């Protein structure tokens, strides 16, 4: 039973990681590319880390929860770097499929 | 079951790394390359966690944590460079 | 007196928990050491934290976190399908969301939530903090997106942090 759950989590994680990178390679302008990796990857790595926590908790000596720390850290930092990248792209005025907003000096 | 799934997962994550590397080489804008680097480190964390499960060793966790920390700082620094043309002000 | 010793009552248990997770051992010695460290660190870094965080309704916050986690999973599946589908069918758009929130913490939490839930991405905060520019991966109806964000994420955050 646990084996199946672990396998499911590992496969989901790997598939979502792949889909995130596929979005990065496949989509056609920078802003849409930004969507793929920042999301699919957090969920992918998240479920891989949960699988790892489960695996070591049931096999090793005692509870192993430090994977939660990486998950937490990724969930806090991923949106920040995505936001900064989007801001940098607006600053550089990269070409976009969507109509870009009118110029104004943004901060924060 | 696990011994069957883990090699498949390795292959999928490896393919993801290859796609990211392709985007890193092709670009075209600097922001695209930074995004590719960012994705590259997240994928590397996935690969390290998988390796940890495969080898039944908790040692790789520290490496994953360090990559998460350093990768984030690197991405922020590079974005700041794009925004301001300078990192340390 | 208590305020001087414990300037940030929420930071201390959070730091202690992070310490325990980091050493990955849940023994009494580490709990004591973690509590000691998490009491000292806020004292030494007092100047980094200009405003104390006050949470008004913990239950609303819990429900908000649950809603966000659920949205992350569901919307991830949707984004995955969009990525695998034809890229020409996507209709990305920039949408400007008017903000009711005032405090810095609430605004940054809202921006982070928007970035975490797939399909949307916060791109820029207007200088006067009245609008947040959001980029959507597939937006057939911009008004609907704005209403969704305001009702699902902004309203609970306003309740929790501002009242």
DSSP string for C103-127: SHHHHHHHHHHHHHSTTEEEEEE-T
Q: Is A90 in CB contact (< 8 Å) with chain C?
A: yes
Other Cβ atoms within 10 Å of B21 Cβ, number: 16
Give every CB contact of residue C159 below 8 A, 6+ residues apart in sequence.
C56, C57, C60
Contact C162, C101 (CB under 8 A): yes
Q: How confident is the model at residue C113 (pLDDT cuts 50, 70, 90)?
A: confident
Which pLDDT value is given to residue B18?
A: 92
A10:B12 CB<8 A:
no
The pLDDT of B25-36, averaged and rounded, is: 86
Does A105 score more than 50 pLDDT?
A: no
Distance of CA A56 to the CA centre of its chain: 23
Place of tokens 């590259």: B40
> In A, residues 18-37, which contact C (CB 8 Å cutoff)?
19, 22-23, 26-29, 31-32, 34-36
Question: Which strands sit side by side in the sheet containing C93-98, from one edge to the other?
Answer: C93-98, C131-136, C120-125
The CA distance from A99 to the nearest CA of chain B, in Å, is 19
Asked if the bond preceding B28 is cis, omega within 30° of 0, the reply is yes
Q: Is C25 in CB contact (< 8 Å) with chain A?
A: yes
CA contacts within 13 A on the Cβ side of C160: 20
Chain B residue numbers touching A60 (CB-CB < 8 A):
58
Q: Is A6 in CB contact (< 8 Å) with chain C?
A: no
The CA distance from C125 to the nearest CA of chain A, in Å, is 6
Please tell me which of the candidates C72, C94, C118 has its beta carbon nearest to residue A35.
C118
**3-class state of residue C35 by DSSP:** helix
Does B39 score more than 80 pLDDT?
A: yes
Which pLDDT value is given to residue B14?
A: 92
Cβ burial, residue C150 (10 Å; 0-12/13-18/19+): middle
DSSP H or E run through C64: helix C58-84
C21:A69 CB<8 A:
yes
Query: Where along chain C do its domains lie?
Result: 2-48, 58-161
Does C5 score more than 70 pLDDT?
A: no
C124:A87 CB<8 A:
yes
DSSP string for A21-89: HHHHHH-SSHHHHHHHHHHHHHHHHHHHHHHHHHHHHHHSSS---THHHHHHHHHHHHHHHHHHHHHHH
Among the residues of chain B, which ranges form H helices? 2-26, 30-55, 60-84
CA distance A32 to A53: 32
Residue A1 DSSP symbol? -
In chain A, the residue whose alpha carbon lies closest to the alpha carbon of C104 is A108
Give every CB contact of residue A98 below 8 A, 6+ residues apart in sequence.
A31, C92, C93, C94, C135
Domain C58-161 has CATH 2.40.128: no
CA distance B17 to B60: 18
Percent of chain C past pLDDT 90, that is, above it, reads 0
Please tell me which of the candidates C21, C112, C133 has its beta carbon nearest to residue A66.
C21
Q: How confident is the model at residue B89 (pLDDT cuts 50, 70, 90)?
A: low
Chain A residue numbers touching B17 (CB-CB < 8 A):
21
Q: Return mean pLDDT, chain C.
A: 79
């Amino acid at each position: 039973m646990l084996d199946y759950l672990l396998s499911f989590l590992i496969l989901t994680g790997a598939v979502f990681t792949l889909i995130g990178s596929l979005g990065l390679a496949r989509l056609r302008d920078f802003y849409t590319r930004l969507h793929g990796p920042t999301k699919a990857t957090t969920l992918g790595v998240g479920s891989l880390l949960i699988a790892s926590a489960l695996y070591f908790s049931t096999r090793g000596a005692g509870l192993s929860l430090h994977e939660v720390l990486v998950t937490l850290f990724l969930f806090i930092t991923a949106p920040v770097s995505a936001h900064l990248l989007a801001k940098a792209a607006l600053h550089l005025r990269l070409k976009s499929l969507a109509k870009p907003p009118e110029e104004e000096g943004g901060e924060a | 079951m696990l011994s069957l799934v883990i090699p498949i997962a390795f292959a999928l994550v490896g393919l993801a790394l290859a796609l990211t590397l392709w985007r890193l080489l092709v670009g075209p804008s600097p922001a695209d390359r930074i995004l590719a680097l960012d994705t590259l480190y997240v994928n590397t964390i996935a690969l390290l966690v998988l390796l940890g499960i495969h080898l039944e060793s908790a040692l790789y966790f520290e490496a994953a944590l360090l990559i998460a920390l350093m990768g984030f700082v690197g991405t922020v620094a590079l974005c700041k460079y794009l925004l301001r043309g300078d990192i340390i002000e | 007196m208590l305020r001087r010793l414990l300037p940030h009552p929420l930071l201390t248990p959070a730091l202690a928990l992070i310490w325990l997770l980091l050493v990955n051992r849940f023994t009494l010695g580490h709990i004591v050491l973690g509590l000691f460290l998490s009491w000292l660190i806020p004292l030494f870094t007092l100047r980094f934290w200009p405003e104390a965080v006050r949470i008004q309704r913990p239950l609303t916050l819990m429900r908000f976190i649950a809603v966000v986690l659920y949205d992350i999973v569901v919307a991830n599946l949707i984004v995955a399908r969009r990525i695998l589908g034809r890229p020409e069918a996507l209709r990305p758009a920039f949408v400007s969301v008017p903000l009711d929130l005032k405090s810095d913490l609430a605004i940054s939490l809202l921006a982070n939530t928007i970035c975490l839930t797939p399909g949307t991405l916060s791109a820029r905060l207007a200088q006067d903090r009245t609008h947040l520019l959001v980029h959507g991966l597939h937006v057939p109806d911009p008004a609907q997106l704005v209403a969704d964000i305001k009702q699902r994420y902004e309203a609970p955050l306003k309740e929790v942090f501002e009242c």
